[in-house]
Amino acid sequence: MSATNQHHESPSAGALVAAGSRDVADDVPSYDGAVSHVHDVDEVGSPPVAPRTSVFGVLLFLLVAGGAVAGAYYVGWMPRQKQAQSLERSTQAAAAALPRVRVVAPRPMPATDVVLLPGDLRALEESAVFPRADGYLRKRYVDLGDRVTAGKLLAEIDVPEIDAQVEQAKATLAESQAALDSAIATARLNETTVTRSRRLIETNAIPQQDLDEAEAAVVVANARVKLAEATINVNNANLRRVTELQSFAKIYAPFDGTVVERTVENGQLITAGNSSTQALFRIAKTNPLRVFVDVPQDYAANVRQGLEATLVVRNMPDRKFTGKVTRTAGAIDLQTRTLRTEILVPNDDGALLPGAYIQVSMQVTRENPPLLIPASSLVFNSDGTRVAVVDEKEQVHFREVTVERDFGPDIGISAGLEPNDLVVANPGDRLSEGATVEIDGGRPAPLNTSTQAAE
């Protein structure tokens, strides 16, 4: 019998086990108490064979997984590692390298500087006209803006009280004149009496006492004449005084000019005085005009009489007005540290108005102009205002400087720098005294200071 037949005739081990246990597990109670019948193997067939895992497949899977992990490591981690190493090397190289700085050479400011300063236009002469007599305004002859000449009648005031005082003074003077005439007549009579008495005393016709009395009367009469003359002088002076007051009833212009203010109307009560509320008119002489400007102390020494100045008027940009310095205060103001300067400007056509705001442009020559450096070069700290300078050995040194003027992007330095110095443009906090640096772009060529100053 062949192996095949033997396989079909001989029961399998599983079948023998199932047959041997059939009697025992034929009826097996279920969990809910019901009897579960176990079917015969022959009825349902043989159980499925369990799959076998190939060793080659396992090895292939492990190989592929390991390659994937190695590829991920190479693609992701290795470049980062190389980048980190490169960054570290760059950092170390940068730390070991010298600081690179950009330097600039100070530029001398031009010796001739154009200074633009604010100024005020004022009249050459300006005066308020006040009344000297009490009364009522009879009539005014000028109004606001009228041009007047010296001596022109501006207004008249009715002064009845002063008119009465004048009449009284005249009467008193006439009375004193009559008293003088009477005293002179009395003195002449007494002199005649003395002459007559002296002839009579020679013949003993009258006693000596009569002669003495006559001579005394002459002395008294002469004294009364002198008293009358003095009274006349007093009364004459009083008459002149009240007459002068009466003349103040007419208001005249003190000089040629323009009426820039009028504060009275016809019939208004006028009170003598010089209070600001009692001014009748204000007159200003507007040709030429004065310009007052405050020159900073830096330029004060070069502002002298005769220096030409140009006026810049905003509302007349096309017009050019020129004048000359006529005088200065000769002293620096303690509050503003400026020199008060007066400029005289012609105003023939009256285009310039007193009180207007203008700007004055002057060309001022300076003996020691400041050096200009970038504003970013300054270092401000507790040690003061300093700049970083690079010497010939390319070492940094800090110098204290004096700032004269701020020009916005540039700063004018009056002390602490030399024209051939090299200033660090932006020092920051990374530089220290004596540190060695590398100049970015190389050391610049020295400037021609004479040519630069002339420009």
Instruction: Say if 46 falls within a structural domain.
Output: no
323, 346 Cβ separation under 8 angstroms: yes
Q: CATH no. for residue 206?
A: 1.10.287
User: b/e per residue, 93-108, with b = 16+ CB within 10 A?
Assistant: eeeeeebebebbbbbb
Domain end (from 247, 279, 311): 247
Please say if the pLDDT value at position 185 is more than 60: yes
pLDDT of residue 290: 93
Please say if the pLDDT value at position 12 is more than 90: no
Segment among 73-77, 104-108, 187-191 with least mean pLDDT = 73-77
The DSSP H or E segment spanning 88 is: helix 78-96
| Mean of per-residue pLDDT scores for the chain | 79
Instruction: Say if 61 falls within a structural domain.
Output: no
Instruction: Say if 242 falls within a structural domain.
Output: yes
Q: Which of 272, 280, 275 is nearest to 246 (CA)?
A: 272
Instruction: Say if 209 falls within a structural domain.
Output: yes
| 413-417 average pLDDT score | 85
Instruction: Say if 185 falls within a structural domain.
Output: yes
> Omega before 99 cis (within 30°)?
no
Q: CATH no. for residue 440?
A: 2.40.420.20
What percent of the chain lies above the pLDDT cut of 90?
A: 18
Segment among 40-54, 65-79, 322-336, 346-360 with least mean pLDDT = 40-54
Q: Which of 276, 303, 309, 317 is nearest to 290 (CA)?
A: 309
Structure tokens at 341: 């300067």
Domain housing 450: 103-109+369-454
Phi and psi of 52, rounded to 5°?
A: -100, 135
Instruction: Say if 260 falls within a structural domain.
Output: no
Query: Which residues have C-beta within 8 Å of that of residue 407, sequence separation ≥ 6?
Result: 372
Q: What pTM was estimated for this model as a whole?
A: 0.53
Domain end (from 247, 278, 300): 247
Rounded Cα–Cα distance for residues 381 and 378 (Å): 10
Q: Which of 332, 310, 158 is nearest to 246 (CA)?
A: 158
Structure tokens at 42: 């022959």
- Reduced to 3 states (helix: H, G, I; strand: E, B; else coil), residue 323 is strand
Give the model confidence (pLDDT) of 79-110 as tens digits.
777 777 777 776 665 555 677 788 888 888 87
- Reduced to 3 states (helix: H, G, I; strand: E, B; else coil), residue 220 is helix
The most confident of the ranges 53-67, 117-131, 196-210 is: 117-131
Give the model confidence (pLDDT) of 295-354 as tens digits.
988 788 888 888 899 998 888 888 889 999 999 998 998 998 999 999 999 998 888 889
Q: Which of 224, 219, 351, 236 is nearest to 286 (CA)?
A: 351
Q: Which of 449, 374, 453, 368 is nearest to 411 (CA)?
A: 374
Structure tokens at 309: 């100045």
Give the model confidence (pLDDT) of 126-152 as tens digits.
889 988 888 899 999 999 989 999 999
Amino acid letter, residue 333: D
Domain count, the chain: 2
Q: What residues pair up with 321 in beta bridges, in sequence order?
A: 311
Q: Which of 9, 40, 46 is nearest to 23 (CA)?
A: 40
pLDDT of residue 421: 85
Domain end (from 223, 247, 271): 247
Give residue for tokens 């170390």: 92
Instruction: Say if 413 falls within a structural domain.
Output: yes
Instruction: Say if 20 falls within a structural domain.
Output: no
Phi and psi of 113, rounded to 5°?
A: -115, 135
129, 260 Cβ separation under 8 angstroms: no
Please say if the pLDDT value at position 155 is more than 90: yes
Please say if the pLDDT value at position 423 is more than 60: yes
377, 427 Cβ separation under 8 angstroms: yes
pLDDT of residue 77: 64
341, 122 Cβ separation under 8 angstroms: no
Give the model confidence (pLDDT) of 244-256 as tens digits.
888 888 999 999 9
